[in-house]
A = this chain, B = another copy of it.
Amino acid sequence: MARVLTPRAEDFPRWYQDLIAKAQLADNGPVRGTMVIRPTGWAIWERMQADMDLRIKEEGVQNAYFPLFIPESYLRREADHVEGFSPELAVVTHAGGKQLAEPLVVRPTSETVIGEFMAKWVDSYRDLPLLLNQWANVVRWELRPRTFLRTTEFLWQEGHDAHASEELAREHARNIHRNVYQAFMEELLAIPVVPGRKTKGERFAGATNTMTVEAMMGDTKALQMGTSHELGQNFAKAFDITYSSKEGTVEHAWTTSWGTSTRMVGGLIMVHGDDNGLRLPPRLAPIQVQIMVVKAGEGVVEAASKLRDELKGAGVRVKLDDRADIPFGRRAVDAELQGIPIRIEVGPRDLANGSVTIARRVDGSKTPTPLGDVLGAVTSALKADQQRLYDEALAFRAANTVEVKTLDEAIEAAQTGWARVPWSAVGEDGEKTANGKAVTVRCLTRPDGSMPDSDEEPGLVAYLARSY
């Protein structure tokens, strides 16, 4: 097959941008750092949203919507928060033909404005927990933008909760992290992740604890796929979110926030893509099966349509491509670029034998299949290929992760993969040394992989890697 993309091994960043352009996932927007999400890319995000939204609701969270514009003064109320975000803000100074009395910040995240309303809505312990989520656009001015991974405007969900105690806040943040984020990424995106705790230096601005799910990309770098924050009482104190307890005392609530974004589309590409394009996990794929009329011929379109109806009736997301006037090779290349899990090629010659060809994107296999066996073959292929993508990514991560004992070894190993090293061998000073060499501590976990309660626990393991 002719070379469609810059090969991954030759230039990974270029391959990534090539793929996005040629699969028509996104374009650069007119303002530097912004992006246009094209229909093919949007369909992926739309399915991500729908699946994650269900998981979020299963945790008892309700969706709501808060304004895009935040008075600048709100951000100043929490000292760490404003310091963390100030350099990234976009500011509206004029509106309705006039200069505004107070500049408005385009939300970089909504802790502050949501904090203001939590304070209004929470009165008694009966109003807690208050569990909210919104799907929204946010803006953070990026110096080094990259499509999907780091854009000036991006789309995300941001969850915001208020709880009656630190323990309840912590438990909820962990439930979201495990039941929503980790499960979503592993089950739907077929991306294995390492859940862990961020170091103090990598925490969200204003948080007392940040948890992350980290995934290994195809170039062995790490991508932070989502984060959940315990905010302690910092925002509750800044915005006066108080409640009267059962005992009649007035207490500050404990809040958390948690977010995932269109960045996950970038992660999906970099984990599953190959030199022919994207490979979509079947559970995620907007189109699971593309039935392709290879060329016109007696009964070909009819047979293809019948197959489409049969698969559709069985709940498969299927599309019929009967554009026989466009060369088959070009259409097949496009389907590969877009990562459609299965192509069913329907041509006059095969049909004469009562069969079609099933081409699987994951391994490139092509199997002639009798018409009567297609539904069964498709159903089992979709299931197997979902698992296979996950297994491949897991094996790749294992093959590129090494256990080391010292900081120097970890920094060395992180040049070509991930290093697992005792956190005691790194520490905050070691972290700075690593950062100076473009290596970061991605997260801390307990030796058994579970989530630490503090950075101070003995025996913690640090993951060091280069990252996006």
Contacts and interface: CB of A to CB of B under 8 A. Distances in A.
13 contacts: A29-B66, A29-B113, A30-B70, A31-B71, A36-B65, A36-B67, A36-B117, A43-B63, A68-B106, A69-B139, A90-B94, A91-B95, A96-B141
Interface of A: 27, 29-31, 34-39, 42-43, 45-46, 62-71, 74, 86-97, 103-104, 106, 113, 116-117, 120, 132, 136-137, 139, 141, 143, 152-153, 155
A122 to B, nearest CB: 13
A261 to B, nearest CB: 13
B90 A92 contact: yes
A39 B66 CA distance: 11
A137 B37 contact: no
A71 B30 contact: yes
B74 A30 contact: yes
Given A30-B74, A30-B116, A64 B38 contact: yes
Given A89-B95, A92-B90, A116-B30, A67 B35 contact: yes
A65 to B, nearest CB: 4
Contacts of A37: 64-65
B30 A42 contact: no
Nearest to A91: B94
A55 to B, nearest CB: 16
A426 B438 CA distance: 73
A63 B96 CA distance: 30
B63 A29 contact: no
Most chain B C-beta atoms within 10 Å of own C-beta, residue among A27, A62, A66 = A66
B70 A42 contact: no
A95 B86 contact: no
